[in-house]
Structure 1
């Protein structure tokens, strides 16, 4: 258990100062722009990385927020993978990277004690036996960083750090050691504020005379069919509600009572928690303990679910929301009057996957599982409040830009059904002549069956025609991936809209294969404004409207340690960012909706996967961020006038600060 490279061999990159501290440690000081250290090929013998199972180190920093530490690996072919680790301030945290992760098969790594989220970015895989560069670095921040790295080793097994108790949050789930506007001083204040707001919501009903019973805008009406549909009016696309009213969907994702803190591995940072079978048993779930649920129970007792739902319905309507977004509480949906979208579960897969979560799409198992997948829609076929369904969210395989699934499949020794189909496809294309194949690919195969054996794939000669063939079959697989489940879903729920797969981004036009089967193409968009050119191009190519399933903004002035994927200085700036994004979106003819992620702040110590962003409309004590929700109200009041061109969209985009997203 050693680090087989001398610490002094690290090369210091611009913006970084390194102080060696012992045999296996150092302090890394970086500027706000970030910085790092690396070992190049001369100091980093490639074969060493194959002799160990883990890279481990203890990390400590006293920064203002979560540190995003990057561990990057590059092999002799130029492939790169970077692992992003979220590290809490003022807590010694032991990272243990399983080097097997460099095969790229997982996007998110399992959490180890004390770690926030850990995510892989980059190429599909890195060859551990040929690593020529290793780098430690940080991303940009609002201030300089000073990070202590100690005990840096390669090892055969990972031993978690045993830490002393250090309560990090109070009994309400609030961060200890920081003050901010809106921080509650205790249970009494929490109870008073929630009860007062709930009573006010009972006394003053929200009236929305310009909206129909399904949330549509009465200023424009089309033919009513009794269900949600889409229509192009000659200038722009719309959702049309069951009564025929036009709808631009302004939605809120994750409308549920509260987030949940993972307890396992975080015990030393938690206050004393109530018994699982005691007064606060409803706050315990399979994933951990929910401080937010406990707070609702403090205020509302046994009726906490119903009173939360009634309070939230009032909030949604008064803030101008017209759609319940993804992953929202089924109990809330049942009590609400707002239309909703449905996130389908358990997207069809196969026993053996080609890469990450991409199934063996030509295996009959995929077809059978797609049929079973579609049946979850059967009971919803007559629900008029259901706008439509998302087949899935952010496929993990699609996070690798330019990924060629054909190449990944042929590298594998597995006899996929899709590989059988590929060999048959190649045989047919080249008239069963291996000589014709070799002439086209510059290869020297003796028979087509050799395509099944990928052990020497890297030795196959490359050629433009081979690349074209791989790309063509890549598109065939993606098309089948989309079209098979889409077909069965439409049969199960013919009255409802297929809202797509909510891709994280479109790294290649290959991802658009089969998307004609959707009624709406959905994408998540973590930018300050939607990309008009991109949206116009996709809309034109597919002849379909688009919607944005997720966007968010976080701020640095609240009681959280990570600000999300896009961040601004203050809650007032968050409000301006929301207004700018939604109003710019409303002015794009091909866009028919944007859904904000999400209602609640995430937990200070991280949700199930370690994400801990300040992105909610309300905090963990159920207190709204007033400047933010007031901007929501202002935006939604202007939205339809902007949509039809009577008002220009906001031109005020607040200044961005560096994110702390993983």
Structure 2
């Protein structure tokens, strides 16, 4: 059964143009600052939301870049969830939104054919039984946006994805129909550009004559231990390299020979691709085709990887990158002479989770899995180039601001072990149920009512809030401390670099983080948040490092510019200088790692991200203004850190992002 949402049911914001086009079609025009429309709530009853499994629609736009279309829902208690969809221009795209997503259990939704990344934002969940508002909107852009939407409906089944074949990228993986500085016309021009760059790299390495082999600054030395460690010199924190020299870590994430385009669901937009078992077999991996690798295979045949490795190692040293960042090629790390950080995998979990990827941390299996998790570190025992390891990246549960895991746990129908521990804590504190009821202003018949989601009532009494918050902190502390202890036991001489949180929305997130040697977070801004970083560092008495930041530009060959963006490649270089030199001047920060070496594919990586954020493009050629800015920044970095050089002050103008 399908329930079509008539254009007569729609109401637009005051600054939005909304007009019917035909049967089940309408045109939405929003200003540069964004905006949207809402569906008259009286037209869609709770029964309609309950009886259907999907919201579906067809969308088409002719904008200059990716359009981010947002589907948002709000329930009777004011909880809201928004799903952001990235849509390519000049391509008819079918959207399919599973209403099950409103349970909030996943941050990233399934990637349907033709759609770019789909990301969920907002509260922990929305009650489908009481949806009172449904809204469709766009995010801010550089210009007004117009999108044609057809067949907006509630449906019991997924739609058909019938697309016409129309290649969107050329044989090199470049966007068709757009020109930009540095666009390569074909393999012959790529070979000439690749060869011309080689002569420029060796002289550039002389800029870093006062760096040692680890990238440490030879003008400042501490005690050497043979491994990387941290030290506070009385004014600022440092990494200390194995030979004892002070180091500020300037890293590059995802050092790989390009990145793969997911083929499934995007076949209609791809050119003819070579066979997976022929000359270009190494450009295929797990259903993805890597145009960047294929371009080098076309130039160098079986020697392509070694050519890439040699050039990339030269570039890192010529640009002043002194750390191989997260998710980089293990083969590159093995052959390189640069220090590196390592991402651990398979963070311990349990069969049942409290929310998203937050485990039932009081279940005995959590500790069993934590011990097994740490065993992957054994092989690094004597590696002097390893700075440290990240236990995980951006926990999905922490994307919900001010999430209280205890409250969410009590709403869950699952018989979680952590629920039982909470009950035992409350029983021990209050003794009898009447004392609990008096403190919480509740009417429980027995403590065991806390195990039943339909009975586990929480109130706004100070005592209830305090008890729930205290256990929330207890859950997070156990989540951090148990695996951290096993990791340190396995690898005592290397640094635990934390979990690379996306942000820290609440003080409770820091529970247990004293177990880290360095607190890491990803910080997408034009400069690090000085007050926030100082607060974290002082609370934990630990240094902080930034695991990710980036900038994209609108004048390149991609249709999405990332989470932070500027107009030109020159400004992108200035943004890099401003960010890194601001970071180097902050005493609590000891490193920043750029995300990432390569532009993402035009048609999206595995999850649909397709940002122009790389130091190199799909032809493996650098963006000259960006490379020059990196080299200058890193040449001045230690002078800025010690106050000998003023940090770069000219922050470029930001343009609206196209991040999903």
Normalising by structure 1, what TM-score?
Answer: 0.98
Q: 1:96 — aligned with what?
A: 96
Deviation at 1:42, TM superposition (A): 3.2
TM-superposed CA distance for 1:335, in Å, is: 1.1
Deviation at 1:199, TM superposition (A): 6.9
Q: Is the 8 A contact 2:4 2:24 kept in 1?
A: no
The 5 Å alignment of 1:23-422 reads: 23-198=23-198, 208-422=208-422
Answer yes or no: is the 8 Å Cα contact 2:458–2:464 preserved in 1.
Answer: no
The question of whether the paired residues in 2 share the 8 Å contact of 1:14 and 1:35 is answered with no
Match of 2:617 in 1: 619
Residue 21 of structure 1 aligns to a residue whose secondary structure is strand
Query: SS in structure 2 opposite 1:583?
Result: helix
Q: Residue 549 of structure 1: SS of its match in structure 2? A: strand
| C-alpha contact 1:287 1:608 (8 A) present in aligned 2 | no
CA drift of 1:206 comes to: 5.9
Alpha-carbon distance in structure 1 between the residues aligned to 2:367 and 2:501: 22
Shift of 1:143: 1.1
Change (3 A) 1:204 1:45: closer
Which secondary structure does the structure 2 equivalent of 1:42 belong to? helix
159-168 or 86-95, larger mean C-alpha shift: 159-168
Preserved contact between residue 113 and residue 160 of structure 1 (Cα < 8 Å): no
* Distance in structure 2 (CA, Å) of the matches to 1:647 and 1:193: 35
Which residue does the alignment assign to 2:488? 490
Deviation at 1:467, TM superposition (A): 1.4
User: In the TM superposition, what is the alpha-carbon distance from 1:299 to its structure 2 partner?
Assistant: 1.8
- Give CA deviations for 1:567-595 in whole Å, capped at 9, x if unaligned: 00000000000000000000000000000
User: Partner residue of 2:573?
Assistant: 575
* More moved, 183-192 vs 636-645: 183-192
Residue matched to 2:465 = 467
Q: Does 1:658 align with 2:656?
A: yes
1:12-66 CA distance string (max 9 Å, x none): 1032100112342210011111110012433442332111000000000000000
SS at match of 2:18: strand
Aligned equivalent of 2:603: 605
- Cα RMSD of the aligned pairs, angstroms, is 1.4
Secondary structure (helix, strand or coil) at the match of 2:443 reads coil
Name stretches of at least 5 consecutive residues in structure 2 with no aligned partner. none
Kept after mapping to 1: 8 A contact 2:361/2:479: yes
1:463 CA displacement: 2.2
1:476 to 2:504 alignment: no
Number of residue pairs aligned between Structure 1 and Structure 2: 660
Matched, 1:446 2:480: no
Name the CA distance, whole Å, in 2 between partners of 1:153 and 1:204: 59
Once the 2 structures are TM-superposed, how far is the Cα of residue 4 of structure 1 from its aligned partner? 5.4
Match of 2:541 in 1: 543
Per the alignment, do residues 300 and 197 of structure 1 end up closer, same or farther by CA in structure 2, a change over 3 Å counting?
farther
